[in-house]
Structures are given as structure tokens and as C-alpha cells.
Amino acid sequence: MGVLAVLLVAGAVVLMVGLKLLVGLVILPFKILGFVIKGIGGLVGLLFGVLGLVAAVLILPLLPLVVLAGIVWLIVRAARPRALPGEVRIVR
């Protein structure tokens, strides 16, 4: 009776190990694909981070000029004569 129990337990262990191996082999391509996608995503994120840093380094020194141009635009816009309500203006 003891030998039969040992054989049943050994068979169950072999069956479970085989099942885990089969499931692992079926899932393996998806794990590899996930790893590749994570790697590509990390590289793309790194690329965008570097591009953002380069853009910030190039654009930040130009910020005072943008502010100055905005102030000039506001002054010129405020100096233009306003149209009366209902008046049609033709701009040439």
C-alpha cells in the first residue's frame, strides 16, 4: 500500500512539473515580447527626455527675446485706433 501511495505522489509531482513546464514554454514568447517592448519604450522615453532637455537648453536663452517681442506687440496693438461698433474697416 505504501508503494502505491509513493507512486501516486511521484506521478502527481511529475504531472505538475510537466504542466508548469508546458505553461512556461507557452508563456515564454509573450514574456520575451514584453521585455523587448519595455526596452524599446525605455529607449524612446530616454530619447524624448534628451530631446526635451536639448530643446529647453536651446529655447531658455531666447525667452527674454520672446517676452520683449510680446511687450512690443502689446504696445503696438494698444496704439492702433479701434473701430466703432457697427463700423466696417477695410484693411489694405
**Structural domain contains residue 6:** no
Domain count, the chain: 1
Does 72 reside within a domain?
A: yes
| Contact (Cβ atoms closer than 8 angstroms) between residue 54 and residue 61 | no
H/E stretch holding 62:
none
- The yes-or-no verdict on residue 89 having pLDDT over 80 is no
> Domain range spanning residue 51?
29-78
For residue 47, name the pLDDT band (cuts at 50, 70, 90): very high
Residue 3: band (very low, low, confident or very high) from pLDDT cuts 50, 70, 90 = confident
Q: Give the residue carrying C-alpha cell 510680446.
A: 70
Residue 86 lies inside a defined structural domain of this protein: no
49 found inside a domain = yes
